[in-house]
Amino acid sequence: MKNLQATSYKLQANRGFTLIELLLYVAISSAILLITSLFLQILLESRVKNQTIAEVEQQGLQVMQLITQTARNAEAIPSPAPSASAASLTLDVITASSDPTIFDLDLLSGAIRIKEGGGAVIPLTNSRVTASALTFQNLSRGSTPGTIRIQFTLTHINPEGRNEYFFTKTFTGSATLRQP
C-alpha cells in the first residue's frame, strides 16, 4: 500500500504546469518585455535630443568664436555705423587679401556666411541647422576702440516634427577691437 501511494505521488508531481501557472508566466514575461522596450525607447529619444542640443550649441559657439576673434583682430568696423544695427558686419582687417571681411546671413539657406576680400562666400553653419535674426550692433563711441554686439538664433532642422529634434537657442556675444 505504501508503495502504491508513493507511485501515485510521483505521477502527480510530474504532470507539468497548470493553466494558471502558464498564464502567470506569460503575464510576467510580457510585463518585463514591455517595461524593457519602453525604457529603451526613452533612452533612444534622450540620446537623439542630446545630439540635437549638442549640434546647435557646437555650431553656435563655433560661429560666435570666429566672429568675435575676427572682430578683435580687426583694425576698424566700417559697417554698421556707430550706434547703428545691421544684418551684416564689415570689418577692416590687417591682412590685405582678407580685406574687407564680411559676415552675413543667407536668407535662402539660413546659413551664416563669411566673405574674406575677393574670395568666395563660405557658409559657417551646416545644413542641419538654420540661422535667423542675425544682428550686429555697433556700440562704439568716439575716441574708444570699436565694440560690436553679435546676436543670432540657431534652430535645428526638424522636417518630421518630432519633439526630440526640436531645439532653438539664441547666442549673444560682443567683441572690442584691440588697439595696435
**Domain spans of the chain?**
51-176
pTM attached to this predicted model: 0.76
Nine cell digits for residue 13: 508531481
Residue 123's pLDDT is 94
> Which residues, given as ranges, of the chain have pLDDT below 50?
none
Residue 142 φ/ψ, nearest 5 degrees = -55, 145
Q: Are 128 and 118 in contact (CB under 8 A)?
A: no
Q: How far apart are CA 149 and CA 159, in angstroms?
A: 32
